């Protein structure tokens, strides 16, 4: 969900890509249904894992999993940890709450990035 939200709501200041340490291999149906219900496109979303190449080419990582990503990538320099519950295996209402929380957090991050970009202009 985070990738689709960030792509639409913050694509001017970030190139989002969602990936996991242990990807499912598919996007759950409730994820795509929730995104569509809230007006987010789901085109191009797919389950993918973190690789060393992706890690090294990324400016900011946001860990939603609760897993200690530093174990897999000890050189984690710009890493934020967001305590967002994974909705997988829950109901549509939980998915909605997760989407809203992600949307709010992405909005704050995007505002910060926009302000930072103004400072560099």
List the domain boundaries for the chain.
2-120
- Per-residue pLDDT of the chain (121 residues), as tens digits, is 999 999 999 999 999 998 887 788 899 999 999 999 999 999 999 998 888 787 778 888 888 876 666 666 666 567 888 989 999 999 999 999 999 999 999 999 999 999 988 887 6
pTM exceeding 0.85? yes
| CATH (residue range 2-120) | 3.40.50.2300
DSSP reduced 3-state for 72: helix
Whether 55 and 69 have beta carbons less than 8 Å apart is answered as no
**Distance (Å) of CA 103 to CA 65, 76, 77, 81:** 17, 24, 24, 15
DSSP label of 33: H
Q: How many Cβ atoms from other residues are within 10 Å of residue 108's Cβ?
A: 9
């Amino acid at each position: 969900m985070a990738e689709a939200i960030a792509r639409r709501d913050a694509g001017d200041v970030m190139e989002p890509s969602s990936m996991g340490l242990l990807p499912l291999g598919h996007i759950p149906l409730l994820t795509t249904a929730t995104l569509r219900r809230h007006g987010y496109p789901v085109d191009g979303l797919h389950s993918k894992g973190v690789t060393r190449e992706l890690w090294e080419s990324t400016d900011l990582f946001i860990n939603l999993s609760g897993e200690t990503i530093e174990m897999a990538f000890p050189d984690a320099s710009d890493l934020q940890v967001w305590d967002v519950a994974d909705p997988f295996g829950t109901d549509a209402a939980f998915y909605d709450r997760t989407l809203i929380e992600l949307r709010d957090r992405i909005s704050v991050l995007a505002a910060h990035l926009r302000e930072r970009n103004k400072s560099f202009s």
